[in-house]
Amino acid sequence: MKITTPIVDFIQTYIGKHPLRLHMPGHKGASLLGFEAYDITEVAGADSLYEAEGIIRESESNASLLFGCPTYYSTEGSSQCIRAMLYLVALYAREQGIDRPLVLAGRNAHKTFLSAVGLLDLDVEWLYPEHEHGYLACPISPHGLVNELTRLETEGRLPTAVYLTSPDYLGNMVDVERLSAVCHGFGVLLVVDNAHGAYLHFLPDSRHPMDLGADLCCDSAHKTLPVLTGGAYLHIGAHLPMELKSQAKQALALFGSTSPSYLILQSLDAVNALLASQDYASSLTEMAKRVEACRIKLHEHGLHAPANDEPLKLTLYPHHHGYTGIEVAQYLRERNIECEFADPDHVVLMFTPAITDGDMERLTEVLLSLPRRAPLFLCPPPLVPPERVTTVREALLSPSEELPVTKCVGRVLAAATVGCPPAVPIVVSGERIDESALACFSYYGVEFCRVITE
Ligand SMILES: Cc1ncc(COP(=O)(O)O)c(C=O)c1O
């Protein structure tokens, strides 16, 4: 597939002309850091992200071709896309005469979901993990989803959308294909936070949510593709009503800066050419094999690293080896290896084809050199659904005060969430903080939180 790179080309030409830049940004292309020349604004010919009809539109059409569905750029991460997706859900509900839509969401939603719920004043019902699980994973079976949707339908509260996070931070994925069939059977939209899974489309058998029936989905391109931080995609299901598709840009604009970064746009543009090459798909497959080989070695050595649904993430569960995740992360750091995420129970390592064979060997060697210790018997507190007292929005807008968590039992959370790392809610705005939440705060080292003033 031959893919153009119109944004990159435009900026190269622009730089080559050495124009006197009497426009923003203030650095005028002069170099303090080394890349300012590439950082332009919406000058003539450079198009405009939210009214794209030139080079940005061409580049987004390339991305749409690659993903096989209408795809729009975000320069402010999946966070911007999540807000846009929920705005589109709200518009969709309005068309059906529903003023205050209900969203049925997996409890391991990223905190951005809650800020969007608060901004848009949506109603949320939570899907909790079906079996004993921590806060980060939320396995939902098609059968479980049928039960929840049937219950809500019987109560006359069928949601407008189901919202799921897949892959989650640990590398678990839900069965989007079967879950989307369930949603569509009830006439409900399926919205997926695929922040961690842009690359899934380019595996030999795509496991990207848009290829499995999702209606709306976001990818943080910057998390798993060679794209600058902030670059993300909003994907729209081809079968969604035309009016909704045509409002995607407006939805993104509602939550975005009026000064989108052209460094990020160039990066999104340039990656299209890379993704179009057959080499990229095969380098992903190769990388997945190398990650699997490393995982098996570690696992055989006794470092618990179960197979992940997501092939480019390696998640270590080191208690059995005698360590917390934080201790393993520190061991790696002392050897100049930085993990993506660590908490008391896990260490998460993320790979892309940019990681070399030599890097993999070094990582494996370092992890195999971790001396085994007596097992730790440590367990995160169980997830106990807190009592909901007010809506998210009401709580966000209420007078509030920040207190040590030990003084917060019985109080209602005002902040969007208090989350365990990485930004997954323990308690959500408008919920009452109880003793089990307190135990969880202490486990994850949360010391203060903002509660509604009494
Ligand atoms: C599951 C999930 N969703 C959404 C986000 C927000 O993505 P971004 O940082 O691209 O705005 C994150 C960020 O870590 C995430 O982990």
Which residue among 227, 249, 276 closes a domain?
A: 276
**Residue 340 to residues 218, 228, 346, 351, 375, Cα–Cα distance (Å):** 20, 16, 11, 10, 24
Closest CA to 225 of 204, 256, 205, 202: 202
Q: How far is the CA of 171 from the centre of ligand 1 (A)?
A: 14
Q: Whose CA is nearest to atom 10 of ligand 1?
A: 77
Residue 194 beta carbon below 6 angstroms from any ligand 1 atom? no
Residue with tokens 């600058």: 228
| Of 86, 220, 264, best ligand 1 pocket probe by most atoms within 8 Å of the beta carbon | 220
- Would you say residue 376 has pLDDT above 80? yes
| 25 and 69 within one domain | yes
Q: In ligand 1, which atom is closest to the CA atom of 165?
A: 1
Name the nearest CA neighbour of 86 among 102, 72, 69: 102
Nearest residue (CA) to ligand 1, atom 9: 77
Per-residue pLDDT band at 2 (split at 50, 70, 90): confident
Coil, strand or helix: which one is 444?
helix
Flag whether 188 is in a domain.
yes
Q: How far is the CA of 169 from the centre of ligand 1 (A)?
A: 9
CATH of the domain at 81: 3.40.640.10
Reply yes or no on whether the pLDDT at 420 is more than 80.
no
Q: Are residues 193 and 289 in the same domain?
A: no
Bridge-based pairing of strands 400-404 and 216-219 is unpaired
CA 338 to chain centre: 20
| CA-220 nearest atom, ligand 1 | 10
pLDDT surpassing 90 at residue 21? yes
Q: Using most ligand atoms within 8 A of CB, pick from 76, 110, 135, 196 the residue to mutate for ligand 1.
A: 110
User: What is the crossing angle of helices 6-16 and 262-276, to 10°?
Assistant: 130
CA distance 259 to 415: 28
**Of 75, 79, 114, 222, best ligand 1 pocket probe by most atoms within 8 Å of the beta carbon:** 79
Domain stop point among 258, 276, 294? 276
Please indicate, yes or no, whether residues 271 and 301 belong to a single structural domain of this protein: no
CA 454 to centroid of ligand 1, rounded, Å: 33
Phi-psi region of 362 (alpha: psi -120 to 50; beta: other; left: phi over 0): alpha
The whole-number pLDDT of residue 130 equals: 82
Q: Tell me, what amino acid is at 359?
A: D
pLDDT, tens digit (0-9, with 9 covering 90-100), for 274-305: 999 989 999 999 999 999 999 999 989 999 99
pTM exceeding 0.85? yes
Ligand 1 centre to CA of 270 (Å) is 22
Mean pLDDT of 168-189: 97
Rounded to the nearest angstrom, the distance between the alpha carbon of 77 and the centre of ligand 1 is 7
Query: Is residue 197 domain-shared with residue 254, that is, in the same domain?
Result: yes
Mutation test residue for ligand 1: of 112, 172, 191, 252, the one with most atoms within 8 Å of CB: 112
Contacts of 422 (CB under 8 A, 6+ apart): 136, 169, 341
Residue 235: helix, strand or coil by DSSP?
strand
What sign does the dihedral 22-25-27-33 (CA atoms) show? negative
Sign of CA dihedral 98, 85, 195, 182: positive
Cα 400 from Cα 433, distance rounded (Å): 14
Clarify whether residues 271 and 318 are in a common domain.
no
The single-letter DSSP state of residue 252 is H
3-state class percentages of the chain: helix first, strand second, coil last, to nearest 5:
40, 15, 45
Tell how far the Cα of 293 is from the centroid of ligand 1, in angstroms: 28
CATH of the domain at 359: 3.90.1150.150
Which band of pLDDT confidence, cut at 50, 70 and 90, is reported for residue 27? very high
Tokens of 243: 């009016």
Domain check: are 419 and 349 in the same one?
Answer: no
Predicted pLDDT at 353: 95
In a domain, 242, yes or no: yes
Atom number, ligand 1, closest to the C-alpha of residue 222: 10
Q: Give me the mean pLDDT over the 250-266 stretch.
A: 98
Cβ–ligand 1 contact at 83 (below 6 Å): no
| Ligand 1 contacts CB of residue 102 (under 6 A) | no
Average pLDDT, the chain: 95
Read off the DSSP letter of residue 208.
-
Q: In this predicted structure, what is the pLDDT of residue 54?
A: 98
CA of 165 to the centre of ligand 1 (A): 10
**Are the C-beta atoms of 367 and 338 separated by less than 8 Å?**
no
Ligand 1 pocket mutation pick from 78, 252, 264, 340 by most atoms within 8 angstroms of CB: 78
The rounded distance, in Å, linking the Cα atoms of 3 and 55 is 13
* Statement to judge: residues 118 and 70 lie in one domain: yes
Does some domain include residue 156? yes
Whether residue 232 has its Cβ less than 6 Å from ligand 1: yes
- Are 42 and 166 contained in the same domain? yes
In a domain, 373, yes or no: no
Our CA angle for 396, 401, 407, nearest 5°, is 115
219 lies in the same domain as 356: no
| Per-residue model confidence as pLDDT tens digits over 95-107 | 999 999 999 999 9
Rounded Cα gap, residues 173 and 140, in angstroms:
10
The sheet with strand 232-236 has its strands ordered as: 71-74, 232-236, 216-219, 189-193, 161-165, 102-106, 123-127
Domain boundary pick from 276, 298, 313: 276
Query: Is 115 a pocket residue for ligand 1 (Cβ < 6 Å)?
Result: no
The domain that contains 437 carries what CATH number?
Answer: 3.90.105.10
DSSP character at residue 198: G
Residues 33 and 154 in one domain: yes
Q: In this predicted structure, which of 27-31, 310-314, 331-335 has the lowest mean pLDDT?
A: 27-31
Is residue 351 pLDDT above 90, yes or no?
yes
Which of 135-139, 232-236, 372-376, 401-405 has the least mean pLDDT? Answer: 135-139
3-state SS record for 263-320: HHHHHHHHHHHHHHCHHHHHHHHHHHHHHHHHHHHHHHCCCCCCCCCCCCEEEECHHH
**Has residue 376 been placed in a domain?**
no
Mean pLDDT of 420-434: 90
**Does the CB atom of residue 169 touch ligand 1 within 6 A?**
yes
Q: Is the peptide bond before 167 cis (omega within 30 degrees of 0)?
A: yes
Ligand 1 contact via 5 beta carbon (within 6 Å): no
Answer yes or no: is 377 within a domain: no
Q: Which domain holds residue 426?
A: 392-452
Number of domains the chain is built from: 3
Same domain for 189 and 132? yes
Query: In angstroms, rounded to a whole number, what is the distance separating the alpha carbons of residues 157 and 139?
Result: 23
Query: So what's the pLDDT on residue 70?
Result: 95
The verdict on residue 431 lying in a domain is: yes
Distance CA 403, CA 411 (A): 10
Q: Going along 145-298, which residue ranges are E strands?
A: 161-165, 189-193, 216-219, 232-236
Same domain for 268 and 286: no
Distances (CA, A) of 108 to 31, 210, 425: 43, 20, 7
For residue 262, tell me if it sits in a domain.
yes
Does ligand 1 come within 6 angstroms of the Cβ of 79? yes
